Structure 1
Amino acid sequence: MQFISTRGQVPPVSFSTAVAQGLAPDGGLYLPEQLPDLKPYLAEWSKLSYAELCEVFFAIFATDIEADELKKIVTRSYTKFDHADIAPIVKLDDDRYVLELFHGPTLAFKDFALQLLGNLYESQIARTGNRISVLGATSGDTGAAAIHGLLGKEGVTTFILYPDGRISPLQERQMTCTGADNVFPLAIKGSFDDAQTAMKTVFEDREFAAEVGLSAVNSINLARILAQCVYYLSAYFRLPEDVRDDITFVVPTGNFGNVLAGWLVQRMGLPIKGFRVATNQNDILHRLFESGTYQLDEVAPSVAPSMDIQVASNFERFLYYAEGQDSEKVREIIQTFKETGKYVFENFDRAGFSSSRTDDAQIAAIIKDVYAKYGYVADPHTACGFSDGFEGKEIILSTAHPAKFPDTIQDAIGEDSTHPSLEELKSREIVKYSVEPTPEAIKAFMRARV
């Protein structure tokens, strides 16, 4: 299978090339040249374990990786999860379920993709002999998951940008207390959007990318999205049969990658009823699905910091399909948004999405209410999925362990939420580096350490 850029100005590439490059040379995001039809496989796949399901799903896309090698990559990727189901489902009542995605090594849903991506990189380096420099930007969980997915990988140097003071203290410790000498957490002044914009500009410098062997861990990397597709398949198969075709997936999201993965699987033939995009007070996506207008606003720091985003990079992949796979139209929309901070869609097709918005006060009230009603502790991002006003059956994606946000949990329910791996971090030394959020400063820092 070949992979194309959403902006249509570069030739198709193989799976391994798409993964290695991360961002396409024309600034676009890679997608399969044609989405496969999964319907003929669903009955057989429903009987598989999580790792087996991931393997057969990736085999459709990673056609340039030998079957035995792919099996090894996938099997290694799910050995560090602390629940036998990998992504367990918790039933709260007859209409409400939770899909827990926080049982990986950094207690966040990003582990599903970044454990796999780390092993894909390791295989690539062994095959080619070429070292790589990984550059990412994080609003909280991506950085920790990327670092832990790449720890111990020969030939990898990791650089992660994050907004200083705008992620939770424990999220920061997961990135800055590894003790690894090839990991560089880069604290910037500004927002996640500032970090992401600078990162994308660095990737557009193809000469620099070749010089340092640049690769991406953010959800601009197609492997991230494909890995996240698997837990929608897994969840669908494990829901009760009388529920699975009549349930809405509720997805807390900031960068649109988490919900995009489910939507792509739906387009491939999995009969998911629909999706609700659950935002915090940084609600650019909610405003889009409500009004058809995609418009920047100021980032308002919140108690759900991983969603403190105003530029949802994966929205470009959705755009590609929403605009009839018209790359020229995608380029026009992206350029207009880049120049003006706004784009108004005519006859905007919501494509089965609904949306909701939850501010900080509502998040605290929801955590308290969910705990009182179900005895279940939801982290502040997951809490956004419990917003009022939705009728029908729903499965809420729980994106992080509540112990990563102890102050918010304590304030809401008056009880501590802890996890041994996080407690152990509190005694370690923080090592981080201050860098200006400019492409020039980032490239200079990387050149000095590659």
Structure 2
Amino acid sequence: MQYVSTRATKASAPQPFSSILLGGLAPDGGLYLPAEYPQVSGEELDAWRTLSYASLAYEILRKFATDIPDADLRALTAKTYTAEVYRNARASESSADITPLRVLEQNGDGTLLLQALSNGPTLAFKDMAMQLLGNLFEYELAKEGAELNIFGATSGDTGSAAEYAMRGKQGIRVFMLSPLDKMSAFQSAQMFSLQDPNIFNIAVAGVFDDCQDMVKAVSNDLPYKLTQKIGTVNSINWARVVAQVVYYFRGYLAATTDNSQKVSFTVPSGNFGNICAGHIARMMGCPIDKLVAATNENDVLDEFFRTGVYRVRKPLETYHTSSPSMDISKASNFERFIYDLVGRDSGRVRDLFHKVETAGGFDLSGKLGSDGDEWAQVSQYGFCSGKSTHQDRLATIRDVQDDYGITIDTHTADGVKVAREYMQPGVPMIVLETALAAKFNETILEALGMDAERPPGFEDIESLPQKFIVMDTDVEKMKRFITTHTGL
């Protein structure tokens, strides 16, 4: 399996999985994708129905990481996906299931299910990929006796998931940017309370998009990136995305009994990484009908899928909401889908994303590509979308609690609200859980008048000592900080 950049030129050589694992952006500024998507047969789907999550992860990942020996890859997935690591299951769930499904609604309109993805150490779906990424990084670095300085950005959950996955890993340091005062108190405490010497938290005076832009700027400085051994764990890293493909197959297999059936997924969406993994699964042959992007008030993606116009918002136009992990107005992973949408024309992708940087967006509502396909081509990939507001979140949290006795977090509430708009008989609709409600207790208290339940060990996390620095959106100052603390 070889990988190409979404912005590749004729001079760009395809790369194997191990060569792109530790990096983020390609040297040309694009994102990596497989030269072609591996296909899954009906026979394979049948055989996968009885597998453990770890074994399923191995079967899928071996299609993408063909240069990692099978025995090593099997050992890495077995080490990652255990009941011990994913131990924060609710009383009604078995941690051995890793990502159990729960039925929320079953009526004439269809079946609505919730796929639990937040049983990992930081109580968010990011753990599903990040725990594997930590083990893959350590494995690859150990082969060369090398070091890696991870430079990433978080709107809330990526940071803590990365830091918990990388703490104590040999040869790895983490420099994580987050928007100052834009995360929940729980999210901030999860990150800033870590005292490990290889963890550096930097709160940026701006919004998430400012943090993300700084990561891209450093990644695009190739001499600095090479000298300082910079890697990334944001979803611009291909391994993050491919690890998330696994739970789409898991959700499909758990919701159906044979391969003649289809399911749909609704995904709370900000940076387009999670739903991009669904797109990859669908391209591989997972029988997915619809992929529904659920946004909050920062509705860049909803606007695109409704109109064909991708219009990036400026920092002052980005709302600070009660589902803060989706307070994003420039979706990094969106480029991967656009690459497929325009027929894998890397020159066209370069032109479109140059317009993003210079004009703030692009318009695909007319013709797409040289073959003249209409905008309706988007529907062939299964995408549709919807939007949720703070009042929608409060109402949905109350509704799910009252009807099913389940407390969902604010982002998952965005997903449930939008999912109901696209339910149809005979096609189960699976909402991907974003996090446990405890991470957003301020809004849970507002919605329900009571605190969200916390797993053991998280009772007083906000009272722990916190270690972080505050910095302006200054790329050169950031580089100096990294250099000072790596000693390279």
TM-score normalised by the chain length of structure 1: 0.97
Q: Letter of the aligned partner of 1:48 in structure 2?
A: L
Question: Residue 243 of structure 1: CA displacement?
Answer: 10
Secondary structure of 2:458's counterpart equals helix
Distance 1:76 1:244, change over 3 A: farther
Cα distance, 1:125 vs. partner? 1.2
CA distance in structure 2 between the aligned counterparts of 1:321 and 1:101, rounded to whole angstroms: 27
Whether 1:78 aligns to 2:97 is: no
Match of 1:13 among 15, 21, 25: 15
Q: 2:183, 2:25 → 1: CA distance?
A: 25
Residue 424 of structure 1 deviates from its aligned partner by 4.3
Structure 1 Cα separation of the partners of residues 63 and 269 of structure 2: 27
| Native 8 Å contact 1:284 1:296 kept in 2 | yes
How far apart in 1 are the matches of 2:2 and 2:79?
25
Greater Cα shift, 96-105 or 338-347? 338-347
Larger CA deviation: 333-342 vs 347-356: 347-356
Q: Tell me by how many angstroms 1:421 deviates.
A: 3.1
Q: Which one of 437, 442, 448 corresponds to residue 473 of structure 2? A: 437
Aligned residues: 450
Q: Using the alignment, how far apart are the partners of 1:29 and 1:252 within structure 2?
A: 22
Q: Within 2, Cα distance between the matches of 1:153 and 1:90?
A: 35
Rounded Cα–Cα distance in structure 1 between residues aligned with 2:413 and 2:281: 25
- Find 2:422's aligned residue among 363, 367, 390: 390
Question: 1:56 and 1:242, CA in 2 relative to 1: closer, same or farther beyond 3 A?
Answer: closer
Unaligned ranges ≥5, structure 2:
88-94, 367-373
Q: Work out the CA distance in 1 between the residues paired with 2:74 and 2:39.
A: 22
For residues 198 and 50 of structure 1, do their structure 2 counterparts lie closer, same or farther at Cα, with a shift above 3 Å needed?
A: same
**Preserved contact between residue 404 and residue 422 of structure 1 (Cα < 8 Å):** no
RMSD between superposed Cα atoms in Å:
1.4
**1:274 matched to 2:279:** no
Seen in structure 2, the aligned counterparts of structure 1 residues 71 and 432 have a Cα distance that, compared at 3 Å, is same
Structure 1 segment 197-212 matched on structure 2, within 5 A: 197-212=213-228
Larger CA deviation: 113-122 vs 383-392: 383-392
Q: Distance in 1 between matches of 2:392 and 2:47?
A: 42
C-alpha distance in structure 2 between counterparts of 1:12 and 1:120, whole Å: 21
Report the counterpart of residue 92 of structure 1 in structure 2: 104
Q: Is the 8 A contact 1:368 1:413 kept in 2?
A: yes
Residue 246 of structure 1 and its aligned partner are, at CA, apart by 4.0
Identity value in percent: 40
Amino acid across the alignment from 2:476 = E
2:397 touches 2:407 (CA, 8 Å); kept in 1?
Answer: yes
**Residues 244 and 272 of structure 1 are in contact (CA less than 8 Å); yes or no, is this contact kept in structure 2?**
no
Q: 1:154 aligns with which of 170, 174, 179?
A: 170
2:112–2:423 Cα contact (<8 Å) kept: no
Amino acid at match of 2:86: F
Q: Is the 8 A contact 1:382 1:397 kept in 2?
A: yes
* 1:410 is aligned to 2:445: yes
The question of whether the paired residues in 1 share the 8 Å contact of 2:267 and 2:431 is answered with: yes
Q: Do 1:406 and 1:418's aligned partners in 2 also have CA atoms closer than 8 Å?
A: no
- Match of 2:92? none
Structure-2 separation of matches of 1:147 and 1:391: 37
Q: Cα distance 1:240–1:41, how it changes in 2: closer, same or farther (>3 A)?
A: closer
Aligned to 1:41: 44
Aligned counterpart, 1:262: 278
Q: Is the 8 A contact 1:280 1:304 kept in 2?
A: yes
Unaligned runs of 5+ in 1: none
Equivalent residue number for residue 51 of structure 1: 54
Q: How far off is 1:372 after superposition?
A: 1.4
Whether contact under 8 Å (2:57, 2:246) holds in the other structure is yes
After superposition, residues 251-400 of structure 1 pair within 5 angstroms as 251-297=267-313, 298-345=317-364, 346=366, 347-348=374-375, 349-350=377-378, 351-387=381-417, 388-392=420-424, 393-400=428-435
Residue correspondence of structure 1 range 172-211 to structure 2 within 5 A: 172-211=188-227
Give 1:360 shift. 1.0
Q: Deviations over 1:39-90 (max 9, x none)?
A: 2521212221100000111111111111222122111212310111111101
Alpha-carbon displacement from aligned partner over 1:161-191 (angstroms, at most 9, x marks no partner): 0001001111111111111011001100110
2:391 is matched by which residue type in structure 1? A
Change (3 A) 1:244 1:282: farther
Q: Residue 204 of structure 1: CA displacement? A: 0.5
Q: For 1:82-121, what aligned pairs fall within 5 Å after superposition?
A: 82=87, 83-94=95-106, 95-121=111-137
Q: Distance in 2 between matches of 1:62 and 1:191?
A: 35
TM-score (normalised: structure 2)? 0.90
**Partner Cα distance (1:57, 1:51) in 2:** 10
CA distance in 1, matches of 2:405, 2:259: 23
CA contact (8 A) 2:46 2:258 kept: no
Q: Is the 8 A contact 2:251 2:430 kept in 1?
A: no
How far apart, CA to CA, are the structure 1 residues paired with 2:206 and 2:303? 23
Q: Distance in 2 between matches of 1:59 and 1:103?
A: 24
Deviation, 1:244, is 8.2
Residue 36 of structure 1: CA displacement? Answer: 0.7
Deviation, structure 1 residue 242: 7.2
Distance 2:54 2:441 in 1: 31
CA–CA distance in structure 2, aligned partners of residues 271 and 391 of structure 1: 16
